[in-house]
Amino acid sequence: MSTCENLFFLLLLLALTLNCTAVFEVKIPDSSVTGIHGQYVLLRCSFSINKDSSLEDIVITWQTVKSEEVVHSFYYGKNQLEKQSLRFFNRTSLYPSEFKHGNASLKLEGVSPKDAGEYICFVSNSYGSNQATLQLSFAAFFTSPELVIELQAHTMTFVYLSKGYPKPEIEWHSSGTENISELIQTSFQQSENSLYQVTSTLTVHVQSNATYSFILRNKAVNQTVTNVFSLLPGKIPEKAASQRVHWTLVMPIVFLLVILVTGIIFYRHEKHYYIQNKVKTTPSSVLSFSKT
């Protein structure tokens, strides 16, 4: 065999070898995704396709990395959920019609804080097998802040309440520019569903005359909430009129109303008792004379 023929067969053998050992790839477009509280999130995953592959050849399995829980499995041409973790029951789905396009993405509904973590996308078919991982983070939009006003003898305390996830950044500004965050007190308390209850407090003198801004930032979802109100001497901010006022302001009014109503009832009762007693002690002759 000539040198040229030897070279030709070597190149052919090399080409066949490369074709047989072609890498079967599983790719994750987004290495990290964020799921929003109560909504669904799409965990995207793709794999190398082969026109000769069929649904019967495809095996797709999603599972958690840390706890190794089965999130969703598909093989033998259908979903196989016998070994699926109970906490994912009726919350996951794949897209079989998209398998021919190399799409192994998983839809996870009703996202909660417990779903946060690392996930594995494993795919296998007659062409090969491989896997890839992605990180799922959790976030919740903070609710519209509720303003509570506490009125003391010489000061007014403003308390903003909101709930979301994760811990946000809180700022207070005076007159729109001066950062007075060092004067506030902010606390975070996690509820049963793991969301954070944020309580941020600012105390000022009643005679103060300024504009205050409350700013909350949740960078996980690019959320910024800003509330602005003006404090006039001796007056409650107009914006607070439609908001809930603290019981320290409401209770004295309620107490006065109770005393007033009680006094009216007592007065009517005494008047009725006096009239009844007077009628009983009046002589019958006088009564008969008055009737004529």
Q: How many Cβ atoms sit within 10 Å of the Cβ of residue 58?
A: 21
Do 85 and 183 lie in one domain? The reply is no
Tally of domains within the chain? 2
Among 114, 139, 164, the domain-final residue is: 139
Same domain for 157 and 131: no
279 occurs within a structural domain:
no
Q: Residue 31 is part of which domain span?
A: 23-139
Picking from 208, 127, 225, the residue whose alpha carbon sits closest to that of residue 168 is 225
Report pLDDT for 50. Answer: 75
Per DSSP, what are the bridge partners of residue 171? 215
Consecutive H or E run containing 283 = none
Q: Give domain status of residue 1, yes or no.
A: no
d(CA 227, CA 7): 78
As a whole number of angstroms, the distance between CA 226 and CA 224 comes to 7
Q: Is residue 237 part of a domain?
A: yes
Residue 282's pLDDT is what?
Answer: 41
Q: What is the pLDDT of residues 99-119, one digit of tens each?
A: 989 999 999 999 999 999 999
Average pLDDT of the segment spanning 70-77:
95
What are the pLDDT digits (tens) for 115-166?
999 999 999 988 889 999 999 999 999 999 999 988 888 888 999 999 999 9
What would the mean pLDDT of 255-278 be, rounded to a whole number? 63
Q: How many CB atoms lie within 10 A of CB 111?
A: 22
CATH code (residue 78): 2.60.40.10
Query: Do 114 and 151 share a domain, yes or no?
Result: no
Whether the predicted pLDDT of 29 surpasses 50: yes
Select the more confidently predicted residue: 146 or 192. Answer: 146
Find out whether the peptide bond into 113 is cis, omega within 30 degrees of 0: no
pLDDT at 5 > cutoff 50:
no
Among 86, 126, 92, 129, residue whose Cα is nearest residue 109: 92
- Nearest CA to 199 out of 236, 153, 152, 246 is that of 246
Q: 273: pLDDT confidence band, cut at 50, 70 and 90? A: low
Q: What is the pLDDT of residues 206-261, one digit of tens each?
A: 766 778 899 999 999 999 999 998 876 555 554 444 344 443 444 455 556 667 76
Phi/psi of residue 275, nearest 5 degrees: -65, -45
101 and 203 in a single domain? The answer is: no
Q: Residue 79 has what DSSP assignment?
A: E
